[in-house]
Structure 1
């Protein structure tokens, strides 16, 4: 299997500050817009900031589940809230920090809790999105 992959995403401006994201390999397009905190921003529509945080969150989940599978740890449930901080740094907006709150429910907590704690950290280290950004990632995991 090749170690190089390409992902195409297209955007088409619709009106105002709203566009539509699509990919030739995906069925559904999604709207995106400037968030309401900025001039002419739009509420209720995914923003680049939300998509950035969702990339962190979804990649972390996929990485966690893959590592858990490799460790033969059965997961009953996984959820993760991620809160990112956007601030002005040296005259530029940056998402400087993302605090993640993964919650993991194990099928066998009596035997797998220690493994799950290691998997939580391995997933952070192995996530391609968090490895590709300069945002500080903070984990606050809950395992049961």
Structure 2
């Protein structure tokens, strides 16, 4: 079965060099900087680069959740850290590598290898990650609790 979904965000620039990003389906807004993270900002607003890395991290998480559900895996907690390396030159700037460090907490020791396997295949279940042309490195951890 095929379905088509569309996503829309609205951006409204304000005179104070910030912009507000919103979506019709959400009550909350996100304040974003109108300058890139390469320039000094007041730190109160997210840069486009931070939003991009957040999108990558949350997409990886969503891919893990989908794969875990399909495989019948239960877990207690999921956290991750994502970091991007950006090459900056006079001619261009580009994201060269993204590192994601997911941590999954489970209760059964015999499920460690299963979790690690799911963490390796969840990239295939992530729409954002499949669209990237950047090197992605994943360093997973599994904790027994």
- TM (norm. structure 1) is 0.89
Aligned positions of 1:16-31 closer than 5 A: 16-31=16-31
CA distance in 1, matches of 2:2, 2:89: 38
Look up the SS of the partner of 2:7 in the other structure.
coil
Corresponding residue of 1:76:
76
Q: Is the 8 A contact 1:82 1:101 kept in 2?
A: yes
Corresponding residue of 1:136:
135
Report how far residue 35 of structure 1 moved: 4.4
- Pair 1:122–1:143, CA change in 2 (3 A): same
Q: Is the 8 A contact 1:74 1:108 kept in 2?
A: no
Corresponding residue of 2:12:
12
- TM (norm. structure 2) is 0.89
Q: Is the 8 A contact 2:66 2:125 kept in 1?
A: no
Q: Please list every run of 5 or more consecutive structure 2 residues that lacks an aligned counterpart in the other structure.
A: none
Corresponding residue of 2:121:
122
Kindly indicate whether residue 39 of structure 2 is the aligned counterpart of residue 38 of structure 1.
Answer: yes
Q: Is the 8 A contact 1:98 1:135 kept in 2?
A: yes
CA distance in 1, matches of 2:130, 2:89: 21
Of the structure 1 ranges 95-104 and 1-10, higher mean CA displacement relative to structure 2 is found in 1-10
CA distance in 1, matches of 2:37, 2:58: 24
Corresponding residue of 1:94:
94
Look up the SS of the partner of 1:65 in the other structure.
helix
Report how far residue 58 of structure 1 moved: 0.5
Q: Please list every run of 5 or more consecutive structure 1 residues that lacks an aligned counterpart in the other structure.
A: none
- Pair 1:16–1:86, CA change in 2 (3 A): farther
Of the structure 1 ranges 49-58 and 28-37, higher mean CA displacement relative to structure 2 is found in 28-37
Q: How many residues align?
A: 142
